[in-house]
Every structure is written in C-alpha cells, then in structure tokens.
Chain A
Amino acid sequence: MTTDLPMPRVGAGQAAAPKPMRLVLNWGRRYSLWVFNFGLACCAIEFIAASMARHDFIRLGVIPFAPGPRQADLMVVSGTVTDKMAPAVRRLYDQMPEPKYVISFGACSNSGGPYWDSYCVTKGVDQLIPVDVYVPGCPPRPEALLQGILVLQQQIAQEKLQTKSLRGRLGPYAGRRASAAEVSRPLVAPPEQTT
C-alpha cells in the first residue's frame, strides 16, 4: 500500500491571521500539550514521577493521555536512544501531526550521557529529530521537567506559526509529506536538504 497520507497542517488561515488572533491561538496551544512519552530508560521513571500527585504537570496543561503519536503535540524523549531504537524514534516522530514539539529529557537523550563512548548508543536524539528544549540531568528531577515545559510554553507563546516560519525552524524536517509506506519502512534515509 503506497497511499499518500499528507501530514496535517496548521491551516491556510493561520498564515494570514492577525496578531491578536495569533496570540489567542498560541495561548490555546501552549496550555493543551498532549504529550507522548517516549519512555526509554531511567528518565521515564522520573517522567512518571512528574505526572504523579506531588509534581503533577497536568496543572501546566500537559496531558499524558495521548493514545498515540498521531494525536500528540509534544514528544518527551526520556532515556537512552540506542542505534537499534533510533528508527522507531524517527518513525513515531514522523507520525505526529504538525505543529509538534520535542523535549529531550535527560543526559542520555541530550548527548549520550554516561554512555557517551558506547558503541551502540546514539549520541543525542537531536541527531534524529529536531529538539526544542533540552532538560539536563541524570536523571533530571521532576522539577526540571516542569521548568522545561515552562520554557517550551514561552517559546510557543512567541511563535509566529506559519508554514514558512515552520520551515525555517525545522529546516528539512517540515513540509515533508510522509507516506503510509514511509512509516512502515525498515530504514530511515537522511532528510533531503531543501534550502
């Protein structure tokens, strides 16, 4: 099956939206971040701790009940990305609708962390997908994730969301059409440079 599945867009009206309108749109978007937890290792436990009663990130509008990547706005990569796991990370990122954001949570997904010289660990998830906010720590405290979410929300508030600016921010990642065949492919090819 090779049906083309166009990626959902922010809509044509968005590009022409006046500033007050944009403010409202950004305000709405920053407080309803449906999060897709890419829990890989130790950091996933701290992610769960952040969603529990004591830290409770739902009060910031981060909703951890996304049924899957296709209905998520935010992906939190928490843990070590290995070379074996890398294609799956990329594939699930491709399945998320735009606009989408990524928080890299913990030293391993930032840079490889304590496994920086391992033969099978990807040295940072930003080699695969664009990252908006990096949260340092090994593992970071739940409070650090809360801070990371606040930083991301500030970024969203200042965003001028147009297909053109998205392309500028995400470079070759944006505006690409993902096909049904692409999300079931075995290996990921590097993105084409479109500048």
Chain B
Amino acid sequence: MPERELTVGVGAGGLATADMVLNIGPQHPATHGVLRLRITLDGERIKAAEPIVGYMHRGAEKLFEVRDYRQILVLANRHDWLSAFSSEIGAALIVERMLGMDVPERATWVRTLLAELNRVLNHLMFLGSYPLELGAITPIFYAFREREELQAVMEEVAGGRMHYMFGRIGGLRDDLPMGWTGRVREAIDAVRRRLPDLENMLVGNEILQARTRGVGILDPKTIAAYGVSGPIARASGVDVDLRRDQPYLAYDELFAPGGPGRVVTREAGDCLARLEVLLEQVHVSLELAQACLERIESLGPGPVNVKLPKVLKVPEGADYLATENPLGFNGYYLVSRGDKTPWRLKLRSASFNNVQVLSTLLPGTLLADMVAILGSMFFVVGDVDK
C-alpha cells in the first residue's frame, strides 16, 4: 500500500507528533481472547507492533508427558477450542502411525466427516466475529444460527458441543446413532440453503469491502519466512493444503481428480481475500462432508474401533505428523521411549505463526485498520499459547 499522508494546518505547518506506545489487551474485545499487542504509534500510523503472547499458556505440552496416550486426546482437544476434533484426530493419527495400527475404513470416513463439519463450525465462528469487530453486529446472529444447527448433530454423536472427544486411538468411541446420517444431511442442506444470506451480508457489503479491500496485504515471501499457513496463506496465493499435498484420513480419495475436494486460493492477500477464502472453504467443506456421508452409507455397518491393550505403550522412536486444521498446519512431533506416556510431544500450532507475522504486517498501516488486520488473521489464543 503506498504511503499517503495529508497534513493540514494553520501557521507552522504540520502537527508535531511524538511516538506513543499503545497497549492493546490483554483483555480487549477486539482480540477475542487474551492476546496483547504493544503498538508504537506516530500520529495514527503504526511504527512498530509487538505481539506479547503467553497470557493463555496452560502448559499443554508438559502435561502431555504425564498423561497416557488415551488421555492426551483430552488436552489435544482444548488448545484450539474452535478446531477441537481436527486437533484430537491429529494426536490419534500420530500415535496410530507409531503403533503401526490399522484403523477400520468406516472409522476413517466418519473421522473425515466430523473433521469437515468441525471446519465449518470454526469458519462460521470467524465469519461472525470478524464483522463484529468491524462494527457489523448482524452477521454473528446468522453465523450462530448455522453453528447451532451443526452443533446439534455433533452433540448427538459425541455428547459435547465444543470438545467432542469422540476420537479414540484406533478409531472412534462409539458407532453412529441410528438415523444420524439423515439428520446430518438435513443440517448440511439447511446450512447450505441459508449460507447465501450470510454471504451477501459479508462480501456483498460495501462498507465491509471498504474496510478490508487492500488493507493488510501479506506477500508470499513473508508467509514463507514466518511459516504462515492455512486460509491466510492461501489468500495470498500460496497454494498449500495438507489435505491434498500430504493426504491423511480419507482425503487422498476426496482430493483426487474428479473428487469434491479443491483448494481455495486468492491472489490479493488482503483482509477481504482472507475472508473470501474462509467463506468458500465453508462451501467446499460442506461438499466434502456430503461426499463422506454418501460413502459412509454405502459402506454399511462395520467396526469403528480396534481393541486396545490394557496398557498402551508406543514403541521407541520419533515421528512427526501435520494435519490441515481449519486455521493452518497443526503438527505433532512425538518422541517415545517405550513408556505409556510420551517422552515429549511437541505441538506445532497454526495460530502461533499466524500471529507472529503481525509484527511485520502492522507497521506502516493506520491504527484504524489495526482491528481489521488483527481480526483477519483468524487466530485462537489457546492455539497461540498452547
């Protein structure tokens, strides 16, 4: 963005300004969580920005080391509370891979279905909260209506509205309830039918476009330097999606040529592009979920988990597995020494990298655009601080 400055004054010319340090957070409505930003201002132009993280640090990585492999799923659920199911599946997958365990096909497809529904839930939250930060109150009511619809079917299968804990090492906790697939189909249809309402309010809104177009442009070089991933990277034309590039679960089939899966990208790299990627990913995810449903129905009944030994020990070694979480790469680096607890389980979370980029993205922009840029980074503070 070219720097434009207009100074109007009577007498001695421009206003003399001095640097001002402004603290945003840790408890601030625009940070949806407890992120703190220390911003140095010259007039209303941001000179430097420093994200100060750690207010939500709960020590999950250390706690993984004192939980056995069945229990770590509980904590893996919670660091990114908007992508709970995707995170717990990542933890289950890495343990299964190190154990050399085969997961029943039906379980894999149900996992894929739930992960995609979780992605929709996550994106709907941001599609509601981002306009709220920009001053539009209405979209969040629409977003939460759809969320409640999908949460109802998730709750029916898992018992939880946010933290599902439905995945287990080797499969799933239970089989699907009777008639559940039909109700999921109805919920997906209802959401798809009403999604244009929300869409028109967002990208069809002139005010929102004015606030976001050309604001906070992120270039692919910075993205590579900071390890930014997920919808934010794809909005700048970085065509990376682990579901297609490093398939796990049932994604190799869904993202095969002719399949319903496609990677959504934009070239602009501004706040509007990031929002558009999110919106379109909701459509893609709903299509993927529908494809999973058809597959589950054609597969027919079958086992959804494998019987585990009483004491689950992972053989010695180390392995890394990353999944495409709704917000970006979510990686688990598991080091085992043959105990029933991990020796080390390093967590690579998406939001941590996505927030760090603010320190180069914000300088040069105006303070009034700060909230628009901050909100468009789509982060979860628990995912930043772990």
Contact = CB atoms under 8 A, between A and B. Distances in A.
B26 A80 contact: no
A153 interface: no
A80 B62 CA distance: 16
Contact of A80 (B56, B63, B140): B56
Contact of B26 (A85, A114, A117, A141): A85
B58 A45 contact: no
B63 to A, nearest CB: 6
B256 to A, nearest CB: 35
A117 B140 CA distance: 36
Nearest to A118: B59
Nearest to B381: A41
A48 B143 CA distance: 12
A120 interface: yes
B58 A118 contact: yes
B88 to A, nearest CB: 13
A52 interface: yes
B162 A92 contact: no
B81 A119 contact: no
Contacts of B99: none
Interface string A94-136: 0000000000000000000011011111000000000000000
A39 B32 CA distance: 8
Interface in B7-49: 26-27, 32-34
A141 B161 contact: yes
Contacts of B161: 46, 49, 139, 141
Interface string A49-66: 100111000000000000
A39 B381 CA distance: 11
A92 B28 CA distance: 12
Contacts of A45: 81-82, 125, 162
Contacts, number: 85
A80 B162 contact: no
B382 to A, nearest CB: 6
Given A85-B34, A138-B163, A41 B63 contact: no
B194 interface: no
B57 interface: yes
A54 B58 CA distance: 31
Given A52-B144, A114-B75, A117-B63, A41 B54 contact: no
A82 interface: yes
Nearest to A112: B58
Nearest to A139: B162
* Max count, chain A CB within 10 A of own CB: residue among B57, B58, B82, B162: B58
Given A46-B162, A80-B56, A85-B56, A39 B63 contact: no
Given A114-B78, A118-B62, A92 B27 contact: yes
Contacts of A39: 32-33
Contacts of B82: 45
B141 A41 contact: no
Contacts of A118: 58-60, 62-63
Interface string A79-90: 010101100100
Contacts of A92: 27
A160 to B, nearest CB: 33
Contact of B57 (A82, A114, A117): A82
* Max count, chain B CB within 10 A of own CB: residue among A46, A84, A92, A117: A84
B174 interface: no
Contact of B81 (A41, A53, A54, A121): A41
Interface string B129-164: 000000000001100110110000000000001110
B115 to A, nearest CB: 18
Interface in A152-190: none
Contacts of B140: 48, 52
Interface in B157-176: 161-163
A178 B145 CA distance: 43
A120 B82 CA distance: 22
Interface string A19-63: 000000000000000000011111011101100111000000000
Contacts of B74: 114
Contacts of B56: 40-41, 80, 82, 85
B66 interface: yes
B226 interface: no
A172 B163 CA distance: 38
Interface in B60-83: 60, 62-63, 66, 74-75, 78, 81-82
8 contacts: A40-B33, A41-B56, A42-B163, A45-B82, A48-B144, A49-B147, A117-B66, A119-B59
Interface of B: 26-27, 32-34, 54-60, 62-63, 66, 74-75, 78, 81-82, 125, 140-141, 144-145, 147-148, 161-163, 381-382
Closest 3 CB pairs of A and B: A42-B81, A52-B144, A118-B59
Given A41-B81, A82-B58, A85-B56, 14 more contacts: A39-B32, A40-B56, A42-B382, A45-B81, A45-B162, A46-B161, A80-B56, A84-B55, A85-B34, A85-B55, A114-B78, A118-B59, A118-B62, A141-B161
